[in-house]
Structure 1
Amino acid sequence: MSLIPVLNGFSEKNHTWCAEEVPLDQIAKQFGTPTYVYSKKALSDAFNAYEAACKKPNGEHRARVHYAMKANSNLAILNLFARLGAGFDIVSAGELARVLAAGGSANQVVFSGVGKSKQEMIAALKAGVKCFNLESIPELTRLNEVASELGVVAPISLRVNPDVDPKTHPYISTGLKGNKFGIAYDDVLKTYQEAAKMSSCKIVGIDCHIGSQITEISPYLDALDRVLDLIKALDSAGIKIHHLDIGGGLGISYTDETPPAITDFANTLLNHIEQKGYGHLEVLFEPGRSLVGNAGLLLTSIEYLKPGETKNFCIVDAAMNDLMRPAMYEAYHAIVPVKTNTNTETLTYDIVGPICESGDWLGRDRALAVKPGDQLAILSAGAYGFTMSSNYNTRGRAAEVMVDGSQVHLIRERETIESLFANERLLP
């Protein structure tokens, strides 16, 4: 099985896979493996595809992009998006600190997530974030108390759970009744009415996010219509909404998926909002995967080829701690040899890592013509790759590099073994 997605920024040239103008084997030689490799062009082009729909011909915005940075939070990537004009969607105080360290503006940050602590609320209020997306009455009550203690007013929106099936993996579906996210649709109006009574909270928006890796527009339109009905009901109740946050979740092509093109997707939703009479609202998109997923890959080297009675194993130096998605979701990532071997027999392999778990696999049943010492590129790894990586088995996390044309920039050093236990202490 070998399904290669259509990529921007990565291609095969003269039998060698390249990141923009740089051969991947050159990157492996310079920086070692495993290493995450990102294309600046692919990142910029994906952002500009959203901007093509978000900007009016006169330069004004009818919508803004707030990058969902949980997909990939490297400072260089955040800085690139900040330079391009992005806001940010965060889910922790740590992510807020990253945005600020990368040159992002707090007043263009929306703070999402179901479990904000008091300390995180304080940090966000002091920084001056654009909005808190709240997901329960207890969270609303706590934020009002914290803001009152600080003598400030917290800008808020409520996250609606519209009970819409996004038709994606159950682990990344967030808009159904059984999910932990958002406020039940039938409870939204009364919750807004409670919020309107709170002296230290100011209602500024309404929020909805139904899931991730969604490849159809219809679930978005279904959710959007339900939220627009709520805005109408809120207006009738004297509660004014200033912005509509429609979340993110647009999928990418890992194999043969055919998600809508970014600009077409954004235009469809924005035009729908205008046709329904709500074009005056500020609209927020919160894309993550669709900005970074196919703009990155994981470069790894083959340690051993191990023939087996029922399977052949290609053992590489990357593992489930580096790329968790296959083990966690049984996710498919296309895997290609960095250089074509014309004199090597093609065999079917499971690509596995050195971790002591049967779940440590990166690809199954792949036809490869390879030998030990070769490099493989695990494609479509820019989203939820490094951010979900760990130090399991006391393995240092991978290096990260950004390619810009013919230039390669190290944007995260490889972790050393010593750094992994630098904060630990022996008993006296």
Structure 2
Amino acid sequence: MAAPLPVARDTADPSFADLLAARPALSLHAHDGLLLEEVPLARIAREVGTPTWVYSAGTLRRRYRALRAALDGAGLEATIHYAAKANDSQAVLRVLRAEGAGADVVSGGELRATMAAGIPAAATVFSGVGKAPEEIRLALAEGIFQLNAESVEEVAMISAIAAGMGVRAPVALRVNPDVDAGTHAKITTGKAENKFGIAYEDAHALYAHMAALPGIRPIGIATHIGSQITAGMAAYHAAYARLAEMVRGLRAAGLPVERVDCGGGLGIPYRDEVAPAPEALAGTIKATLGGLGLPVMLEPGRWIAGPAGVLLASIVLQKQGRGRRFLVADAAMNDLLRPSLYEAWHGILPLSPARHAAPLAPADIVGPVCESGDTFARDRAMPDLPPGEFIAFLDAGAYGAVMSSTYNARPLAAEVMVDGTRFAVVRPRQTHQDLLAQQRLPEWLAP
């Protein structure tokens, strides 16, 4: 390897020690290196291979309980419905089911996955702007807790399907409060130009119309203003205050309102953001909606699952040229899409304890996929990492494996769960034979 380049760290980047200090499930052992709970991650990398997703059961439990305690501490009658789109691993879902979580799903596939994990439809909210008729029928047949309707057309569809089945669908209207949550443009959902929900100004009339339709039992108002919200409680306060105003108006008109769905979106610190605590969210709900005397619902995904996961990778080679050092990993954008899709920042740590004390120099951490966008980090201060060294991408438990693909004919990575001193493979690594087995040739091309 050529002589290291001068360290040119972005001073805003947290150090390895900073990253560890902010993540209680991770620790550095003098001999075993980086641990998740009490399991050396290098052991998993050697035995299972890389790339591999690893989830901490203890972190899932700890974060769910922290949110539950915050809601209870605020005196709220609240239910928590985990957003399965963040991570729909059966192992993750079963850990959260054991804690008492319900589910929030956005497809028939997610509904089937959560039911398979033991979360009944009677504890599940079905959200999403484009539910197909067969998905609505499935949800109603299974006794769904709540359908969040997002358009006039969907309300009509639900009414026709439910009436035809001889049931009354429990429907909440998802209201778009036109509030900017201050997140990335691709994950904001509560502004007027977004595709989600009913315009605030139209919601009262639609709710009244819904109450007169066959096959529908109107049960309340829902909202969701975006994901990865870290800029304080102002956007939540504005959105929930608008919901409270609407509920009062509906009640004044003699319309039934049974509950309020507050959505999710609470952010986590990927880099060094100051993310709001769950107590702050609970306090905001109490201040805006607490006077209504109604139960509320929350739909967290990332806040619970994000810090619970890492993605393990191996260094394939170090490439030096034209003043830049590239660390090429065996993980790629098809595994962890967030940096390419959202310009997202993820902490990256070596697994070896010796590398944590080694000199640092700027490096671009990239994958092997044939795309310039297959880049995880630029000018990141990293030690010398020769081929075969292991690294971990942090806070990868949400919107990681669920967004992965087989682009470049790269099989899906394995998934592992850690719980204390034990670990188990919860999804085996896909093989190339698995990829080919899903394909069929037309008869005129068959050998």
Question: In structure 2, the residue corresponding to 1:26 is in which secondary structure?
Answer: helix
CA shift, 1:271, in A, is 4.5
For structure 1, which segment, 328-337 or 308-317, has the greater mean C-alpha deviation from structure 2 after superposition?
308-317
Between the aligned partners of 2:247 and 2:360, the Cα distance in structure 1 is 59
Alignment pair present for 1:334 and 2:347: yes
Partner of 1:355: 369
Partner of 2:335: 322
Between the aligned partners of 2:246 and 2:300, the Cα distance in structure 1 is 23
CA shift, 1:348, in A, is 1.5
Partner of 1:177: 192
Stretches of 4+ moved more than 4 A in 1? 342-345
Between the aligned partners of 1:248 and 1:168, the Cα distance in structure 2 is 13
The amino acid that maps onto 1:30 is E
RMSD: 1.5
Partner of 1:121: 136
Listed one character per residue, the Cα deviations across residues 226-258 of structure 1 (whole Å, up to 9, x for unaligned) are 010000110111112111000000000001111
Partner of 2:119: 104
Between the aligned partners of 1:89 and 1:109, the Cα distance in structure 2 is 6
Between the aligned partners of 2:190 and 2:376, the Cα distance in structure 1 is 29
Unaligned residue ranges in structure 2 (runs of 5+): 1-9
Q: Is the 8 A contact 1:211 1:249 kept in 2?
A: yes
The amino acid that maps onto 1:23 is P
For structure 1, which segment, 263-272 or 148-157, has the greater mean C-alpha deviation from structure 2 after superposition?
263-272
CA shift, 1:259, in A, is 1.1
Matches within 5 A, 1:181-260: 181-215=196-230, 216-260=232-276
Partner of 2:382: 368
Question: In structure 2, the residue corresponding to 1:98 is in which secondary structure?
Answer: helix
1:44 to 61, 77, 91: 61
Q: TM-score, normalised by structure 1?
A: 0.96
Partner of 1:34: 51
CA shift, 1:345, in A, is 5.1
Matches within 5 A, 1:291-302: 291-302=304-315
Between the aligned partners of 1:134 and 1:228, the Cα distance in structure 2 is 19
Q: Is the 8 A contact 1:67 1:88 kept in 2?
A: yes
Q: Is the 8 A contact 2:233 2:280 kept in 1?
A: no
Q: Is the 8 A contact 1:8 1:294 kept in 2?
A: no
Between the aligned partners of 2:354 and 2:398, the Cα distance in structure 1 is 29
Partner of 1:18: 35
Question: In structure 1, the residue corresponding to 2:353 is in which secondary structure?
Answer: coil
- Could you tell me the percent identity over the aligned residues? 45
Matches within 5 A, 1:121-140: 121-140=136-155
Q: Is the 8 A contact 2:244 2:288 kept in 1?
A: no
Between the aligned partners of 2:298 and 2:29, the Cα distance in structure 1 is 35
Between the aligned partners of 1:261 and 1:56, the Cα distance in structure 2 is 13
The amino acid that maps onto 1:91 is V
Listed one character per residue, the Cα deviations across residues 18-44 of structure 1 (whole Å, up to 9, x for unaligned) are 111111101101111001111111110
Between the aligned partners of 1:381 and 1:115, the Cα distance in structure 2 is 27
Alignment pair present for 1:287 and 2:300: yes
Matches within 5 A, 1:370-385: 370-385=385-400
Between the aligned partners of 1:61 and 1:31, the Cα distance in structure 2 is 44
Listed one character per residue, the Cα deviations across residues 82-131 of structure 1 (whole Å, up to 9, x for unaligned) are 11100110000000000111011110100000000001001101111101
Between the aligned partners of 2:41 and 2:80, the Cα distance in structure 1 is 31
* Cα 1:266/1:421, change in 2 over 3 Å: farther
Q: Is the 8 A contact 2:88 2:402 kept in 1?
A: yes
The amino acid that maps onto 2:265 is G
The amino acid that maps onto 1:382 is G
The amino acid that maps onto 2:380 is R
CA shift, 1:61, in A, is 6.7
Between the aligned partners of 1:375 and 1:415, the Cα distance in structure 2 is 20
Between the aligned partners of 1:318 and 1:85, the Cα distance in structure 2 is 34
Q: Is the 8 A contact 1:344 1:371 kept in 2?
A: no
The amino acid that maps onto 1:304 is L
Q: Is the 8 A contact 1:10 1:39 kept in 2?
A: no
Between the aligned partners of 2:37 and 2:70, the Cα distance in structure 1 is 26
Between the aligned partners of 1:208 and 1:268, the Cα distance in structure 2 is 15
Q: Is the 8 A contact 1:8 1:295 kept in 2?
A: no
Between the aligned partners of 2:390 and 2:396, the Cα distance in structure 1 is 16
Q: Is the 8 A contact 2:241 2:288 kept in 1?
A: no
CA shift, 1:347, in A, is 2.6
Question: In structure 1, the residue corresponding to 2:269 is in which secondary structure?
Answer: coil
Q: TM-score, normalised by structure 2?
A: 0.92
Partner of 2:318: 305
Alignment pair present for 1:80 and 2:92: no
The number of residue pairs the alignment matches comes to 423
The amino acid that maps onto 2:272 is D
